[in-house]
Amino acid sequence: MSLIDPFGRKIDYLRLSVTDRCNLRCRYCMPAAGVVKRRHNEILSFEELYQIAAVATELGIQKIRITGGEPLVRKGLIDFLARLSALPGLAELALTTNGSLLPGMAEDLRAAGVCRLNISLDSLQPDRFAQITRQGELGEVLAGIAAAERVGLPLKINTVVMRGVNDHEIPDFIRLTQERAVPVRFIEYMPVIKEPGWQSLVMTGAQILERISRTHQIEPLEAADRAGPARMFRIKGTAGTFGLITPLSGHFCADCNRIRVAADGQASSCLFSDHRIDFRPALKAGGWGPLAAALKGLIAAKPDRHLLSTLDAPHTPFAMSNIGG
């Protein structure tokens, strides 16, 4: 069975948020004052999240990515992941994390069936890392990356590039790909919290690529299956790779294959759309039919593209921690 949206795109990727809570306060993810946390009874139970995932995979979803907030802060996550990984038809179970809790959890994640990690890492300098995350310890994340590599858990590093904040570290991240077979993906800054003057922080994918090409010979790479929107490259002669994710300067909406369900049951077919469908009534109704109808309705309402640009952001501001990125 396949899920096809009104524009002919096959939807086979679900991003499922299990919590709105996080142990960091990254400046591009939430305001300095933080966000209003949902009460425990406002967050979907693991059983409800599993029901959504089970119906989604029956309808044709092949990849599920677990997000947050920070998913590793939710108690009981490992058992939930083990149930998910056993779903028939699920080809890949991935997870996005800030990496700080990985040292004690990497082996359990691997055993539970997680196929791949995306680790957010925006600086390789301790002081700047603490500034960007507002309270993070770089050493914890580096230890988490080492733990994932030690247990054989494939990973990608996601780096949000902010002009005047961490753009001068681009060569350091490139050096990381030269020294180790690790993919680094540079992501354009997105104004998800509508920070005043956010345009000054944007460094486009083309500008990032131009900066790297000043000192390195770059080879473009073919995109792998379920690789997402990144355009991938490598420095000639090295094992690691780097990618560019360009939601502002280079729309990849024509190939978008994803939907999102937040931890409170609010579902979205586009990160920057104001349209949401509340899945809680379908969960309360029980059975396969109501959830299947809700999922199909969500996909039927998927827009052809988002309206975000580097000049304006005509969308309702939200904290990324509330919707799962």
Q: How many domains does the chain have?
A: 1
Does residue 281 sit within a domain?
yes
> For residue 297, what is the domain's CATH number?
3.20.20.70
Does residue 191 sit within a domain?
yes
Residue range(s) defining the domain that contains residue 166 = 13-323
Kindly state the helix (H) or strand (E) to which residue 161 belongs, with its residue range: strand 155-161
Q: What is the spatial distance between Cα 31 and Cα 27, in angstroms, rounded to a whole number?
A: 6
* Half-sphere exposure for 290 (CA within 13 Å, toward CB): 13
Instruction: Please tell me the pTM assigned to this model.
Output: 0.92
pLDDT band with cut points at 50, 70 and 90 for residue 126: very high
Q: What is the spatial distance between Cα 291 and Cα 297, in angstroms, rounded to a whole number?
A: 10
Does residue 237 sit within a domain?
yes
Does residue 1 sit within a domain?
no
Does residue 8 sit within a domain?
no
Does residue 3 sit within a domain?
no
Q: What is the pLDDT of residues 135-168, one digit of tens each?
A: 899 999 999 999 999 999 999 999 999 999 999 9
Q: What is the spatial distance between Cα 319 and Cα 325, in angstroms, rounded to a whole number?
A: 9
Name the burial class of residue 88, with classes exposed (0-12), middle (13-18) and buried (19+) by CB atoms within 10 angstroms of its CB: exposed
pLDDT band with cut points at 50, 70 and 90 for residue 315: very low
Q: What is the pLDDT of residue 253?
A: 83
Does residue 2 sit within a domain?
no
CB neighbour burial string for 120-133, b if at least 16 within 10 angstroms, e if fewer = bbbbbeeebbebbb
